[in-house]
Amino acid sequence: MDFARFLILPWVHVKYLTSAVLALAAKQLVRDWEARHHFRPVLLETFTDPRYRAGTCYPAANWIEVGETQGRGKLDRHTQWALPVKAIFLYPLDPRFREKLTAPQG
């Protein structure tokens, strides 16, 4: 498993660092997505493997744990269930995300 590592220099002091980093990443992702695809996302999704990380930073940053994956992966066409089960977290970017995601297109 490949993990990203960060060096935080001793003179850097940010209260609730993980929440601040997640908020900055979400803002940048929205800007980049809108610039590239010409529409604004309304919901973010991420996964964490509880065997390696508890994912406690997500609820602390107001992400919502909604359940677990089935351990299949997006390319499993034959229901082999070969991947680890992961926790699923969502972060609403728009209070009306349900309405917008379920609205008829066009």
* Per-residue model confidence as pLDDT tens digits over 60-100: 999 999 999 887 777 767 776 678 889 999 999 999 999 99
pTM of the model as a whole: 0.80
88/45 Cα distance (integer angstroms): 7
- Domain map (residue ranges) of the chain: 17-102
Residue 75 DSSP SS3: coil
Give the chain's length.
106
Closest CA to 90 of 26, 36, 27, 28: 26
The answer to whether residues 57 and 22 touch, using CB atoms and an 8 Å cutoff, is yes
